[in-house]
Structure 1
Amino acid sequence: MAIAGASAQSQTYVLDKGWEFSQAGSNEWMSARVPGTVHQDLLDHGRLPDPFYGMNELKVQWVEKEDWLYRTVFTVTADQLKSDAAWLTFEGLDTYADVYLNGSLLLKADNMFVGHKLAVKDVLREGENRLMIRFRSPVEETAPQWDTDGFNYPADNDHSEKRMSVYTRKAPYSYGWDWGIRLATSGIWRPVKLTFCNGAAIDDFFVRQQEVTEQVAKVDNQLEINNVISTPKEAQVKVVYAYGEQADTLTRTVVLQPGKNSLSMPAWIEKPHLWMPNGWGDPVLYTFTATVSVDGKEVASREEAIGLRSIRVVMEDDKDGKSFYFEVNGKPMFAKGSNYIPGDALLPNMTGERYARLFEDIRAANMNMVRVWGGGIYEDDRFYEEADRNGILVWQDFIFACTTYPHDPTFLKRVSEEAVYNMRRLRNHASLAMWCGNNEIYEGMRYWGWKDKYSPVVWKEMTEGYDVLFRQLLPELVAANDPGRFYMHGSPYEANWGRPESWKIADSHNWGTWYGQKPFESLDTEIPRFMSEYGFQAFPEMKTIRMFASPEDYELESPVMNAHQKASIGNFLIKKTMALYYKVPEKFEDLIYAGLILQGQGMRHGIEAHRRHRPYCMGSLPWQLNDSWPVVSWSSIDYYGNWKAMHYQIRRAFAPVLVD
């Protein structure tokens, strides 16, 4: 066990050593990474070919159909067992997982997006403690749900005969997408920690920003303190907030009742240093520290980096339709950004260094916003920390995309737990600008022909389910757990790229230059109030192609190139559009180069059109920023972090001052 951090009376250890894994039923145990995934562990032991290379994706699909076991042994001392409380915390289990400790079944997890804090003092033993987790196949687990439903949901990402991804609260993109490999993972994908506590613990510290102006910031420090002993106890609670040499302290003496205690400690900060978006000024972060002391000894502490700012999403009826823009610190902001997908098909491979580089690239391209798309994940804490430090606003989707979903009681319970957990985890971040219910579901229901595929009974269930999930449950949870944050039921709000009358209403996804096969000049006249998605594909550069293909594969329609081209019309459309502007090269390498130039010029054309129409149009977020594996896609940065021509053109188009 490695110590992660400690206060005078508590100790937290990260359980990241000594793990082993095995395929259920085999009794062959091999070393494992934690955090990690079973696919990565199999790769480490040479049991899988590189899924990113050639057509190896097809050779690794068996993994998702098996159950997997993970185990470790850790030591607990007699002194640690004397602690008032002990917790075992799992920050992320992917996805159906049974957790056993010393013969006790502690947990049956069923949601990748929820962390679990388990009281284990009565289960721990002096000396060796044995921890085992059984991960059940995500596809076999949900097969009975599909069988009893008797139909396929319109989950375009899931190309299986039985589309079971909708039943599972698991990253949708792991089942494949039109830019993504199918790797339906299992594993301990976020850290496991063991904590010993005496006296009290701070379970939550929410710095709620009630009003922020240049003159004053009114905040309410809301604490949840857990008194872990069985009797009331007098305690001193302090909140210190500081920036540079400026520091102030709030102090209160309270009697903590056994169990959960809620405490409010309001503060006014005169002439605050405001957190500013990239390009506007410094993204100033205050340090807020809460401590609890009992009998003169500090027993618990918690620290939060807080950017004081006001963010308002203005979506109002006006003479042109319905506006949509972000107002930061009282000033309208033209959103310059992109759409983010998970940075890796094997999520634990995303390191702090990779997140830091990602946001360097975002900031360098003069962006001030990134949209976390609803087919991926609620991102790692490090993602939002980097967004805070770099002045990048985050549009956060809840994790639903491109299909209708069930709304039975079990599913709604899972969604509720997931939403509350992630809102409480993320709500202190200055960068968090809004919550959006889903990606493109409402548009799909209205315009993609889904209604004609289902019986009236099933379709009625789907439409009712949309309202229950996105117009009732989620907005109620946002109001209760992240009050004051803007919520929108889905993106696009109402618009459709084939219906000009809808472009006047809130945000739009314009896929006319892709699915509509229109020239880039169409972006000059198809102007929405806010463009939250639009794009055009390009291959990555040749040095990336060499990472997944051999010279004999260097043909546009070779089996390997097609395996890395997930969009059905992709290669055809790249050549068709290229012919509108350039002579189409015959040599493969030249075609790749010309395609990169084409993509960059096209997206720059769109951004400049959107900026010309400010304030009618107040945002431009091309699809997409990044890749989760080496692939042909709409990205401006490839899987290995190389800028495509598109990212250079975005940097030019988003320059602070642009002469058109």
Structure 2
Amino acid sequence: MNEILLNDLKWEVKGYWPWVPLKGTSMELGQELMGVTDWMPATVPGGVHYDLFRQGWITNPYQELNSLSCEWVENRWWVYRTTLKQPELRAARVELVFQGLDYEASVYADHLLLGEHKGMFEPAVFDVTDLLSGRESLEISVLLKQAPDEMGQIGKTSATFTQKSRFNYKWDFSTRLVNVGIWDDVVLRVHQQCFWDDVSITTDAEFGENDRNQISSGRITIQAGIKRMAGSEDDGTLTVCITCADPEGNPLLVQSRPVRAGELLNAELEIPEPELWYPNGYGKQPLYNLELKLLDEAGTELDTQSFQTGIRKLDYIHNVDSPDNALPYTVVINGSKIYMKGVNMTPLDHLYGNVTVEQYQLMIRLMKAAHINLVRVWGGGIIEKKAFYDLCDVNGIMVWQEFIQSSSGIDNIPSKQPEFLELLHKTACTALCDKRNHVSLTVWSGGNELMSEPNKPSDSSDSNLAMLKELVEQYDPQRLFLPTSASGPVEYITDAKGQGHDVHGYWKYMGNPYHYELYGSNDNLLHSEFGVDGLSSLKSLEKFLSETNRRPVSMENNAIWRHHGEWWDTLSREEEMFGSMTDLEQFSACSQWIQAEGIRFVLEANRRRKFRNSGSIVWQFNEPWPNVSCTNLVDYYGETKMAYHWVKSAFRPLHVSLDYRSLLLTPSTGFQGDVYVHGGNGRKVEVDAEVFDAVGRCIYQQSFEAEGNKDQAVGAGVLNFNVPEHEDALYFVRLSYQDGDEAPQQNLYVFSTNKKHPYAPALALIGGNLEVRQESLWQPTGAQEKSQQARFTVQNTGSEVLLHIHAEEKGDRYWMEADEQFHTLFPGETKTVTVTCTPKLSGGFLSGENYRITDGLPEIRFMSFLTAQSRMIQVGGEKNRE
């Protein structure tokens, strides 16, 4: 089979009132019925919104309230057209394939109806063999009806009737901006008389009986149908040629065997001393290259398909001390228990057809750098494009894939509507057959927060979920199927012991001290969704808020802020913690601090119970449109928030944490907090604990030592110190430790004796002085094409602590990543930071920020908490003020 990509043909799109394209001419006047718009250049894959914007029909829907004036778009009918020239090829059958039509379509060739299609995730396939015969070209047109009237976040799950991505219709992190268009590739699929069909690849590994670390062999199992074109003659015996190359591309083995069309190929490849695939942080991700060729009796190649796969042994076991009625939540790969360091992912853009491979690369790169090893692809969004899963394979990011259904609030009962079940069945079969060959795929889930009654997750006794379970057992029996997330027996995290197996919640900072009491003593087995909200950076806020709206305000009192994050109003929280918010930069910095603090504590508390708790999956990694405030770690523009970097710290393979139950200290009393070592795998870990005041005086020091354990957190001892007699002061506990040959790592906790506004003293810290030296010129880095890297030294030359020092790229043409962000320096201390900047290459409404060849090198500025000024010393001694 050969595929010819048709995305780059000259596509056009035009909008009509409903039904007009089918009528064509006026019944009364006989004249042509004109469209709502003229014919416009179209992006494929893409969506009509971006094409309308480029032609001036709509304003940018991501800014302020503009999306409200774009809601007419979803209510029109849209026609795409292009001309397909006759390709020079020898074929028994040629198919026109639309990988993603959104949502209900009729497809025509030279005005002849080829067929109709409904659904986003099942390809629309049409035989155009006879139509192409003897013609120089074909006009292809696609009529897309208006988007179905589906529900957003609030509604009745039991009334769901589509497989349309529901976040489009309004969710807590998105607005109503309903995509219509051709959202995935269009290809011409060329078949010979016989071809491969429904290929399934699974892998396994065998270990020594007496030594689980001794690999004896690996196995790649291939099952594939061999299909003969209807009406074609039986060409007799065929030959299958299977080639396997090692991860470096060196030929490893070749198998040939005779087959006949209609047979099912079953082949097992034994790989001696295989290189095993591991999740991120547990080992490497070598991928073997497979090629399946189908030859006729004359040796002519009929069909070839290529795959990359990793060899690994996959198991699931119950947690340590797991209740008898719990599901097996611990993933085991190659005999090693894997602790889930996960994130939940929404679609990268409201208009997901415009997302580029480079945007996927950025997200996966950020996940890998933050030691994340699992991503949950959420059931209210989309089943992502192939490039995403390929990147997860390469980078060791396990995938938890949900089928497309989600809770709706009024009721959360899985839909039993016949139309919905038929569509869900088709989507599930397509997803299972498409994604099962990805070694990164680890868990299937029936959907998001499906509940048979309030706070009680549905299980496989529900007929909807029973159908999905049967399909997983039929098409991908190797993987775990969870009926829904959370999977119960209660939906939400609770103080009650023994009830929280797989739970969700909460999504807010729960206040001091309750946040720490709740999460610090919880006994959940798996925390598959939780988060804390926080504002975007000032740099991002300025991109979609006008100047008059750039001031601290409650979402109750500002419609534009409410439109960009209604649920995530944190003003009262920040005023409780810090006092009055005087400007937007201050509000953003304070909000991001509390978000980071809140999420870090949950991650560390869960990790202290490693493998009683099998992992944490943070809600959410990204956002599909710009929010003033949200629970995301990375904003719409690709800027990482403070919480991302504290998650990165908490997920380090070797980490040291402090267990506490309040941010408030009482003067003249004692503090006690347990110190834990996470990771280390049998080696001795030395921990230095220091307690500082705001001017950098060390008022207490204590050392600890523990032997690290890969399967559980180890208590290193109890930190004890006396709190000085100051009523309005901050105190800093810094835990320092060494991870092999790497630079010493530090984990900092900030406590206060201010009862009214615990972190208010931070706003009065003005004695620090940040001086920055650029130590190296920008140099290309081999990791990313066209990426530039430079090294900086930052120093506090002032008299008070500098909190949360971080770099920012001043322009919009680069995605910036730094190995150290939001760290704290006491007077006289220095730190070296390596910054990498990758040219932006985004799609759709973000493409205006894309790198151009005339753009200069990145411009970096360093800032600390509420301090935007720093003294930069350039390479070679040149000085300037930022």
- Does 2:374 correspond to 1:378? no
Q: Is this contact kept in 1: 2:607–2:613, CA < 8 A?
A: yes
- In 1, the alpha carbon distance for the partners of 2:612 and 2:369 equals 26
Please give the per-residue CA displacement for 1:417-440, whole angstroms capped at 9, x wherever unaligned. Answer: 110101110001111001011111
| More deviation, 21-30/514-523 | 514-523
SS of the aligned residue for 2:582 comes to coil
- 1:53 matches 2:63: yes
Q: Is 2:505 the counterpart of 1:497?
A: no
Is residue 95 of structure 2 the alignment partner of residue 87 of structure 1?
yes
Q: Pairwise mapping of residues 25-44 of structure 1 onto structure 2 (< 5 A)?
A: 25=20, 26-27=34-35, 28-44=38-54
Q: Tell me if 1:347 matches 2:352.
A: yes
Structure 1 residue 313: Cα displacement: 2.8
Match of 2:870 in 1: none
Using CA pairs below 8 Å that are at least 6 residues apart, which structure has the higher relative contact order? 1
Residue 497 of structure 1 deviates from its aligned partner by 2.8
Measure the CA separation in 2 of the matches of 1:341 and 1:517. Answer: 29
Alignment equivalent of 1:325, drawn from 318, 322, 330: 330
Question: Separation in 2 of the partners of 1:11 and 1:156?
Answer: 36
> What SS does the aligned partner of 2:654 have?
coil
Match of 1:591 among 587, 591, 595: 587
Displacement, 1:361? 0.3
Letter in 2 for 1:553: N
Which of 91, 108, 114 does residue 100 from structure 1 map onto?
108
Unaligned runs of 5+ in 2: 21-33, 208-214, 658-882
**CA 1:498/1:276 → structure 2, altered by over 3 Å: closer, same or farther?**
closer
Where do 1:572-587 residues align within 5 Å?
A: 574-579=570-575, 581-587=577-583
Find the partner of 2:312 among 298, 309, 327. Answer: 309
Q: Is the 8 A contact 1:23 1:69 kept in 2?
A: yes
Which one of the candidate residues 655, 658, 681 is aligned to 1:658?
Answer: 655
1:550 aligned residue: 546
Read off the aligned partner of 2:464 and give its amino acid letter.
Answer: L
Counterpart position of 1:480: 474
Distance 1:98 1:340 in 2: 32
- Report the Cα offset of residue 514 of structure 1: 5.3
What is the distance in 2 between the residues matched to 1:464 and 1:11? 41
Alignment equivalent of 2:127, drawn from 105, 119, 132: 119
CA contact (8 A) 2:374 2:397 kept: yes
Q: Indicate the SS of the match to 2:148.
A: helix
Aligned to 1:453: none
* Whole-angstrom CA distance in 2 between matches of 1:104 and 1:481: 36
- Which consecutive residues of structure 1, in runs of 5 or more, have no partner in the other structure? 1-6, 143-154, 451-462
Is the Cα contact below 8 Å between 1:324 and 1:618 reproduced in 2? yes
Q: CA deviation at 1:263?
A: 1.2
Q: Which structure has the greater CA radius of gyration?
A: 2
**Residue 534 of structure 1 aligns with which residue?**
530
Whether the 8 Å CA contact 2:160–2:420 is kept in 1: the answer is no
In structure 2, what is the equivalent of residue 22 of structure 1? 14
Match among 378, 387, 396 for residue 391 of structure 1: 396
CA shift at 1:498, angstroms?
5.4
CA distance 1:446–1:518, change in 2 (3 Å): farther
Contact 2:205 2:334 in 1 (8 A): no
Q: Identity percentage over the alignment?
A: 27
Which whole-Å deviations, capped at 9, do the CAs of 1:76-113 have from their partners, x for residues lacking one? 15x54x62111111100001111112333222111111
Deviations 1:230-286 (Å, cap 9, x if unpaired)?
Answer: 324322111111113351112111222xxx542111222222110011111111111
2:192 counterpart of 1:190: no
Give the aligned residue type for 1:654.
F
Mean CA deviation greater in 207-216 or 433-442: 207-216
Cα displacement (A) at 1:469 = 0.8
1:76 is the counterpart of 2:86: yes
Residues 198 and 532 from structure 1, CA distance in 2 versus in 1: closer, same or farther, beyond 3 angstroms? same
Which secondary structure does the structure 2 equivalent of 1:176 belong to?
strand
CA distance, structure 1, for counterparts of residue 163 and residue 373 of structure 2 = 30
* Matches of 2:370 and 2:57, distance apart in 1: 40
- Equivalents in 1 of 2:634, 2:194: separation in Å? 46
Q: Deviations over 1:328-358 (max 9, x none)?
A: 1111111112111100111122111111111
Contact 1:158 1:175 in 2 (8 A): no
Q: Is the 8 A contact 1:92 1:114 kept in 2?
A: yes
Equivalent position of 2:796 in the other structure:
none
Matched to 2:306, the amino acid is E
Residue 225 (1) aligns with residue 226 (2): yes
Aligned to 1:421: 430
Question: Partners of 1:101 and 1:502 in 2: how far apart?
Answer: 63
Q: Quick check: 1:434 aligned with 2:439? A: no
Q: Is the 8 A contact 2:309 2:438 kept in 1?
A: yes
Displacement of 1:466: 7.9
Secondary structure of 2:82's aligned partner: strand
User: Matches of 2:621 and 2:547 in 1, distance apart?
Assistant: 28
Task: Give 1:491 shift.
Answer: 1.0
Amino acid aligned to 2:273: K
Aligned-partner Cα distance in 1 for 2:515–2:495: 16
What displacement does 1:467 show? 0.8
For 1:603, what is the secondary structure of its paired residue?
helix
SS at match of 2:237: strand
- Report the alpha carbon displacement of residue 465 of structure 1 after superposing the two structures with TM: 11
Structure 2 equivalent of residue 455 of structure 1: none
1:338 to 1:512, Cα distance in 2 relative to 1, 3 A? closer
Q: Specify the alignment match of 1:279 in structure 2.
A: 281
Aligned residues: 613
Identify the residue that residue 67 of structure 1 maps to in structure 2: 77
TM-score, scaled to structure 1: 0.88
Q: TM-score w.r.t. structure 2 length?
A: 0.66
Per-residue deviation, residues 176-216 of structure 1 (Å, max 9, x unmatched): 10011211111111111113333322233221235554222
Give, as a single letter, the amino acid of the residue that structure 2 aligns with 1:508: V
Q: Which moved more, 1:553-562 or 1:335-344?
A: 553-562
Shift of 1:156: 5.8
Contact 2:15 2:79 in 1 (8 A): yes
8 A Cα contact 1:177 1:566, kept in partner? no
Q: Match for residue 601 of structure 1?
A: 597
* 1:215 counterpart SS class: strand
Name the structure 1 match of 2:290: 288
More helix by share: 1
SS of the aligned residue for 2:451 comes to helix
* 1:543 positional shift: 0.8
Describe the shift of the 1:608–1:35 C-alpha distance in structure 2 as closer, same or farther (beyond 3 A). same
Give the Å deviation of 1:505. 4.6
Report the CA distance shift for 1:301/1:212 in structure 2 as closer, same or farther (over 3 A): farther
In structure 1, the residue corresponding to 2:535 is in which secondary structure? coil
Distance 1:128 1:405 in 2: 46
Within the candidate set 154, 157, 160, 1:166 is matched to: 160
Aligned equivalents of 1:505, 1:276: Cα separation in 2 = 29
> In the superposition, relative to structure 1, how do residues 540 and 34 fare at CA in structure 2: closer, same or farther (>3 Å)?
same
Residue in 2 that maps onto 1:152: none
2:645 pairs, out of 633, 644, 648, with 648
Amino acid of the structure 2 residue aligned with 1:549:
L
